Structure formats: C-alpha cells, structure tokens
C-alpha cells in the first residue's frame, strides 16, 4: 500500500509588477498560467510578458515553473528556464519585467507581524522620547 503524499506547505507568490505595485498570490490548485492575456489564470499587464508566458504547477511534492515558449523567457535565480525548474522557498522568478518571489505563507505572515510589532515599539519609544516635559 502506497503512502499518500503529504500536503505541500502553504506558499504564496510575492509579485512586483513593472509599475511597482506589489501583491501576493496564494498558490492553490494543481497549476496556473501567468501572462498578459485576460485568458491567463494570473493576468499581468506587463508588455515584456507573453500572452501565456509561464506555467506554475505541483509535482513530486513541490512547485515547478516552466516557460511556455515566451519571447523574453523565464528566469529562476537569474538562470533561463529551458525545462521545468523546481522552486524552493525564496526563489526569485523573472517573468518579463515582473519579479516574483516564492515565500512560505506562514513565514511571510510571521515576518509581517514581526515588522509591524517592531514599528509599533519604535513609535512608542519615539513618543516617550519626544514627549513634552513640564
């Protein structure tokens, strides 16, 4: 009897587009296509991206990306993707002029919460430091 594969840890893509508007996209389902076409699962208005540029998919207990014959190619860690590339936490994927970073969902949540707490503590220190004296 074969043992079922353990579910993949929740992952998210942190996407920074050409206009600098960052957003996060949770990796869900078996696969999705990124491109500038409205028919792509993740449509991004990046002129250097092909209509159907790259496909992200699950296989062998991990996430992979493959270029779909795009004009400008897809890079992972600065290397051109000629065949499906396995993605690890922190992988930086370049699709056209758009930069995408693969992040563990929980880790990103913890990082955001820590940054928020540090900012609040810093503001409180500043308030007390500059409070008027009588």
Reply yes or no on whether the pLDDT at 131 is more than 80.
Answer: no
What residues does each domain of the chain span?
Answer: 11-106
Q: How far apart are CA 80 and CA 94, in angstroms?
A: 9
Reply yes or no on whether the pLDDT at 132 is more than 90.
Answer: no
Q: How far apart are CA 79 and CA 94, in angstroms?
A: 9
Specify the pLDDT at position 71: 96
The CATH class of the 11-106 domain is mainly beta
Specify the pLDDT at position 105: 64
Q: What whole-number percentage of the chain has pLDDT above 90?
A: 60
pLDDT in tens, 35-91: 999 999 999 999 999 999 999 999 988 999 999 999 999 999 999 999 999 999 999
Whole-Å CA distances, 44 to 1, 5, 109: 44, 32, 24
Confidence (pTM):
0.71
Reply yes or no on whether the pLDDT at 12 is more than 60.
Answer: yes
Reply yes or no on whether the pLDDT at 121 is more than 70.
Answer: no
Q: Which of 41, 34, 25 is nearest to 105 (CA)?
A: 25
Paired sense of beta strands 54-59 and 85-87, if any: unpaired
Q: Which of 67, 58, 63, 62 is nearest to 94 (CA)?
A: 67
């Amino acid at each position: 009897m074969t043992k079922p594969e353990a579910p993949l840890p929740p992952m998210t893509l942190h996407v920074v587009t050409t206009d600098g508007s960052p957003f996060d996209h949770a990796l869900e389902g078996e696969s999705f296509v990124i491109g500038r076409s409205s028919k792509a699962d993740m449509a991004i208005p990046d002129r250097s991206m092909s209509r159907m540029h790259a496909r992200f998919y699950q296989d062998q207990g991990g996430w992979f990306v493959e270029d779909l014959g795009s004009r400008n190619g897809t890079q992972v860690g600065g290397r051109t993707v000629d065949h499906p590339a396995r993605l690890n936490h922190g992988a930086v994927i370049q699709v056209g002029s758009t930069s995408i970073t693969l992040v563990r969902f929980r880790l990103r949540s913890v990082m955001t919460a820590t940054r928020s707490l540090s900012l609040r503590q810093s503001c409180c220190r500043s308030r007390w430091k500059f409070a008027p004296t009588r």
